[in-house]
Amino acid sequence: MTTPLQSLLLFGALQQSVLLLMSLHAWMSRGFAAPARRGLLGIALVVAAIVLLARRDTLPGLVSVVVANALLVAGVRTLYACGYAVFGLSPPPRWERWTAFGGVAVLAVLWWLDHSAGQLVLAKARPAASGVPLGCSAFCWLQRLSGETPTPRSLGVRYAMGGGALTLLNQFVRSAGSLALPGAVDPMDSPIAGFALVTFLTSTLLSAVAVILEIERRGRATLELRNEQLMVDASTDSLTGLANRRRLDASGAIEVARARRYEWPIAVLLLDIDHFKTVNDRFGHATGDIVLREVAKLCGAELRGHDVLARWGGEEFALLLPQCDLAAAIGVAERILDRLRSAPLSVLDGGGITMSIGAAVVADGEAALAPAIERADAALYRAKREGRDRAIAA
């Protein structure tokens, strides 16, 4: 006949099996393969321990007591090891690990005493033999969570702290309760057994859910970071690290709208490296790429915080200058030309680079940057025709 406690144990085994399936889906879908293996192993060990404990009336005591409690200790410790990895906590101290091993050894010794003259010792000390190492594991877990996780703490961290606290309470009640029982009453047949089992199952449920929640949170955070990186990559020139045309167009639309609202000027420069084909033909394309990066750095040194420098294409750059009229834009262009003239490049055997620059401003009534860019482009070609190494206003 199945007792209420056995029924509760079997229900706990079913609960842990459901957690096993939920965890498998959540952990593997988020790419946490290594922690997932630990977590799944831990839950499987707990399930096996609960099943063995539930069959104490049909299985030998060595299996249903020593092996079951050893599996329980190993399973809970493995679950905590999974939690350390998922929450990014430093590992527990070595003494906690040896406490677990020692508890299993004590169980084996107590079982040997059971067959000699130690029935009373077994009944009193067996719960402590598995309860002390589990309590130490829960204590180290709570210590790491409270000291290494940021505040405000996430929902997963709060669940994890609740699970650890329940484990600590469970093992304290189970160990202390056995000492208070009269004679050699088996704690599994005592009134505290139901309470201990319910708190234990609740603690493992909270801990497993905590790990699932944390993995989901980290998975979402990782996905958001990837999306942000994709957006950055889509708007950045991979060679120079500058904005590309897409980002310049987006920034231009925002700045033109702002300029119309606040009635301030906005200018644009188009800059083209002179005789860049000669650089590639003489020194090679790899050197040409270095020159492009160096020119980008030199031009960027003249920028204000809200200016936008972009690689327009090939050896051509574009510079968006909010709150800047045509005279100020030509001043920026002249400073860039002076900086280039005074900066010989070692990759060009000490030679320098010059640029031709066209400048234009967004006219009153224009709602886009494109007309100003067209005028700047025309001014740029005038600078080329008039001898290069100069800036001309549209």
Co-location of 165 and 264 in the same domain: no
Residue at 369 is within a domain: yes
Final residue of a structural domain among 183, 198, 232? 232
Higher pLDDT, 33 or 256: 256
Co-location of 81 and 159 in the same domain: yes
Tell me what pLDDT residue 237 has: 87
User: Please, which pLDDT band fits residue 377 given cuts at 50, 70 and 90?
Assistant: very high
- The pairing of strands 355-361 and 390-393 is parallel
Residue at 237 is within a domain: no
Co-location of 203 and 275 in the same domain: no
Co-location of 227 and 204 in the same domain: yes
Co-location of 325 and 285 in the same domain: yes
Average pLDDT over residues 25-52: 74
Q: Quote the pTM value.
A: 0.59
Average pLDDT over residues 323-334: 93
Tell me what pLDDT residue 380 has: 95
The residues that are catalytic are 315
Co-location of 167 and 310 in the same domain: no
Task: Name the domain count of the chain.
Answer: 2
Residue at 303 is within a domain: yes
Average pLDDT over residues 76-94: 86
| Helix H or strand E encompassing 393 | strand 390-393
Longest CA pairwise span in the chain (Å)? 110
Tell me what pLDDT residue 216 has: 77
Instruction: Compute the distance between CA of residue 103 and CA of residue 117 in angstroms, rounded to an integer.
Output: 20
Which of 95-99, 225-229, 254-258 has the highest average model confidence (pLDDT)?
254-258
The average confidence (pLDDT) of the chain is 83
Tell me what pLDDT residue 186 has: 55
Residue at 188 is within a domain: yes
pLDDT (tens digit per residue) in 53-67: 878 778 887 787 788
Domain that holds residue 76: 4-232
Co-location of 263 and 387 in the same domain: yes
pLDDT (tens digit per residue) in 88-120: 899 888 888 888 888 878 777 777 766 555 555
Q: Is the pLDDT at 211 greater than 60, yes or no?
A: yes
Tell me what pLDDT residue 195 has: 78
Residue 240: closest CA among 273, 267, 277 = 273
Tell me what pLDDT residue 61 has: 73
Burial class (CB within 10 angstroms; exposed 0-12, middle 13-18, buried 19+) of 88: exposed
Residue 41: closest CA among 69, 11, 70, 76 = 76
Co-location of 183 and 256 in the same domain: no
Residue at 239 is within a domain: no
Average pLDDT over residues 116-141: 75
Final residue of a structural domain among 232, 255, 277? 232
For residue 127, is the peptide bond before it cis, meaning its omega torsion is within 30 degrees of 0?
no
Residue at 56 is within a domain: yes
User: Please, which pLDDT band fits residue 362 given cuts at 50, 70 and 90?
Assistant: very high
Q: Is the pLDDT at 68 greater than 90, yes or no?
A: no
pLDDT (tens digit per residue) in 154-165: 888 998 899 889
Co-location of 30 and 177 in the same domain: yes
Instruction: Compute the distance between CA of residue 251 and CA of residue 236 in angstroms, rounded to an integer.
Output: 13
User: Please, which pLDDT band fits residue 169 given cuts at 50, 70 and 90?
Assistant: confident
Which of 88-92, 159-163, 330-334, 350-354 has the highest average model confidence (pLDDT)?
330-334
Co-location of 290 and 381 in the same domain: yes
3-state secondary structure (DSSP) of residue 274: coil
Residue at 238 is within a domain: no
**How far is Cα of residue 136 from the mean position of the Cα atoms in its chain?**
29
Per-residue tokens: 111: 């079982």
Final residue of a structural domain among 209, 232, 255? 232
3-state secondary structure (DSSP) of residue 352: coil
In Å, how far are 149, 197, 206 from 166, measured between CA atoms? 19, 11, 9
Tell me what pLDDT residue 24 has: 66
Co-location of 337 and 265 in the same domain: yes
Residue 87: closest CA among 158, 185, 171, 7 = 158
Co-location of 166 and 289 in the same domain: no
